[in-house]
Chains A and B, each alone.
Chain A
Amino acid sequence: MSTDHESPKAHRPEGAHEPHAFFAHHFNTPDQQAGAAKLGMWVFLSTEILMFSGLFLAYFIVRMFYPDMVLAAHEHLNKTAGGINTVVLITSSVTMALAVRAAQVGNTPAIKRNLLLTIMFAGVFMVVKYFEYTAKFEHGMLPGKYYTAFEHGYYIPGNPHIFFAVYFCMTGLHGIHVLVGIGVLTWVYIRASKGHFGPNYYTPVENVGLYWHLVDLIWIFLFPLLYLVR
């Protein structure tokens, strides 16, 4: 066997990009690295969709079992707040897409600006969610055995504790994803500040973007299903 350690460069096809600073040793070319990262992200997103699909299935089954209850219970969700959040998230998807575009052309100030806007919108979403949740807590509209809305003067026929269980599970899991999103957006923002991204290397921005679009997409399904049953 050849005894010298050959550098990865030795096996790179002619005309490939020069490796960037974040090129990992076990890949042959930066393109291979970027392709792997992107494929990995898509596979990950499909697992996310499947995880949420379990909850969507639970939702549909509950709705099939108790259509009247779901209809009555959903009236107690705040459509205005949900609507605002929908607009906020869609806007944040736009700013995210702009950030990715900025990374591709190597415009660091624009990456930072758009990422900051995205983080801000995510924050607004969480604040609105906070007020929604607080209202539900105050009215005793809680899952399972903690459901006490009848003590607060709200009477919902049937088994509303199941509806609110599904509501909290779905929006809760989605909320956790938004929080994780804020985390990774911040991480990408810090890396962008250090000038890591340019036309040769923007995979992290792109992948975080994909993730963020998925979080957005899930909300776009959650909103009509939970808030706009009628």
Chain B
Amino acid sequence: MADDKSKHDAEHAEGHGKREPSYLVAQRGLKSWLFTIDHKRLGLMYLGSTLLFFFVGGVAAILFRTELLTPAGDFIPWLLSHLPTALGGTGGDVEAAVAQSATTYNKLFTVHGAVMVFLVIIPAVPGSLGNFLLPLMLGAKDVAFPRLNLLSFWVYTLGACFFLYTLFAGGLDTGWTFYTPYSSTTGTAVVSALFGAFILGFSSILTGLNFMVTIHKMRAPGMTWNRMPLFCWSIYATAVIQVLATPVLAITLLLLVVERTLNIGIFDPAMGGDPVLFQHFFWFYSHPAVYIMILPGFGIISELVAVHSRKHIFGYKAIALSSVAIAIISFIVWGHHMFVSGQSELAAIVFSFLTFAVAVPTAIKVFSWVATLYKGSIQFNTPMLYALMFLFTFSIGGLTGVFLGTLSVDVHLHDTYFVVAHFHYVMMGGTIIAFIGGLHHWWPKMTGRTYSVWQSKWAALLVFIGFNMTFFNQFVLGQQGMPRRYYTYVPQFQQQHMMSTIGSYILFLGLLWIAIYLLASLRRSAAPKEPLPDNTWGGASLEWSTQTPPIEHNFHGQPRVDTDPYNFPQIDRTGEVDHH
């Protein structure tokens, strides 16, 4: 789809063995990274930091999953009493360890939730893949505001520092939702965590703003809205939510900070306020935030499914517009988090209905992806395995959402492990699986390195088995009435909890393996002898038309576009070929 001239030139240049230095080596030194305004380098920096926090959140999860192996609280007291005080333990004092154990468990699940939501899933795809790919896919030299982009990254880092400070200043035990009045009375480091989330919100807003303007103003000549890769559409829908919803979170968190420090009483019933008001404020942001998390994943899957089956994506417009529809509807469904919280019955009914309205565009997407496979040429490359895995796990995540949107059933399932399982199927089985798939898809483009194919396929299998083993059990637990956020539980639930914990170990190992072979591919000794081809998978969008890894200014000259990004050369236009 790129202009023929540039393609021709590329072949010409390769024929002469002439290559420009890539963006990775165009400038050298630590400073050239820390103060870079190159969207590609910023993408890599986001990638590094989100993966680091993914590890932190994962370790917290493994710790509390281990605790949940048995109904009684035993692992955490043991752990605390064996840890030196410098590491947050009690240095052999068993009594103190027992006394702190419940709080420690609460801090662990809060750290897991808050880190995974605010530091990993929200920034992961837009920050890393979005930053790296958006200008490349649009045929632009950079995002619209490169310096603002750098600022976003540093604001993100600052917010992350606040979170790290929270961890070392006594932790946080409110749950990632910060529900009042508990969050305004508990003794842990709530204020620094709130400031952290507040600052991260700004990073998110600035990134969203940047991407919106980039998509509006920086598209290559000839790239109409309907010729944009679907990844860009999903990033656009995400950006709209980031820009419109995050400010409300910012002000909510600020009000909570003021509530804690000055006791203004707006959320405190003892002072004449209303704790349910906080939930409305919070979910007004946090439900759209769920789509900030999942929409970029949808975009990745659209790309992977089309490229690895060399088929034009099925229902381009339906997929693109359903992203926008989801973005819009996401603003008016927040009340489905509060069916049992004491809001009015009418509100509950309206929110339930609107929630079902979100299910339709989501279903359209899944059907369209499966239909894309029809009469394709499917190759089971590692990214494609993740895309197919996504269709499995995300379908479960989406379908179980129907249970929770249904009023009478939600009354039973609300705040149980069913909810935990559901949102992990969406967030982990959706976004993270898509993210890992995207990472494998664009890894050669981003780094100029290749990873071990057999290792990546076995690791994908481990992730798939581990993930389903961990979370499918939790649907059963929830249906049986196991409430979430429980440190100890009644013995009848042990069997499921045990399987879930074993599953989480498998999942953790799978993810660790991925990290190991990806990092190994970056070693100096792993550098390929010949530079990698520009187009790893036979993709037709613009990022594949430039050098691998791209040069500092992305393209030589200005690419022009005259067709859409799913026009693969293998597509048979004559209609004569018999597909098997």
Contacts and interface: CB of A to CB of B under 8 A. Distances in A.
Interface of A: 1-3, 5-6, 10-11, 24-28, 32, 35-36, 39-40, 43-44, 46-48, 50-55, 57-58, 61-62, 65-66, 142-146, 158-159, 161-162, 165-166, 169
Interface in B249-276: 250-252, 254-255, 258-259, 262-266, 271-274
Contacts of B262: 142-146, 165
A165 B263 CA distance: 9
B193 to A, nearest CB: 19
B271 A11 contact: no
B265 A165 contact: yes
B213 interface: yes
Interface of B: 6, 9-10, 12-13, 18, 20, 140-142, 144-146, 148, 205, 209-210, 212-214, 216-218, 243-248, 250-252, 254-255, 258-259, 262-266, 271-274, 277, 281, 546-547, 553, 556-558
A26 B140 contact: yes
19 contacts: A2-B557, A3-B556, A6-B557, A25-B553, A40-B145, A43-B212, A46-B243, A47-B243, A47-B246, A50-B248, A51-B247, A57-B281, A144-B259, A144-B264, A146-B262, A159-B271, A161-B264, A169-B254, A169-B264
A54 B251 contact: yes
A162 B213 contact: no
A53 B263 contact: no
Contacts of B205: 47
B209 A25 contact: no
Contacts of B556: 1-3, 6
B96 to A, nearest CB: 33
A163 to B, nearest CB: 10
A143 B257 CA distance: 13
Contact of A165 (B13, B266, B546): B266
Q: Which of A36, A46, A50 has the most CB of B within 10 A?
A: A50
A47 B244 contact: yes
A11 B258 contact: no
A230 B487 CA distance: 53
A36 B263 CA distance: 43
Contacts of A6: 556-557
A165 B264 contact: yes
Given A36-B213, A143-B258, A161-B271, 11 more contacts: A2-B557, A24-B146, A36-B145, A43-B209, A47-B243, A50-B248, A51-B251, A161-B264, A166-B266, A169-B255, A169-B258
Contacts of B146: 24, 26
Contact of A61 (B209, B213, B265, B277): B277
B548 to A, nearest CB: 12
Contact of B144 (A5, A40, A61): A40
B18 A36 contact: no
Given A3-B18, A10-B557, A145 B209 contact: no
Given A43-B243, A47-B246, A165 B258 contact: yes
Contacts of A35: 217
B265 A11 contact: no
Contacts of B248: 50-51, 53-54
Nearest to A51: B247
A55 B409 CA distance: 35
B144 A36 contact: yes
A65 B272 contact: yes
A62 B266 contact: yes
A66 B558 CA distance: 62
A10 to B, nearest CB: 7
A218 to B, nearest CB: 13
A36 B218 contact: yes
A144 to B, nearest CB: 4
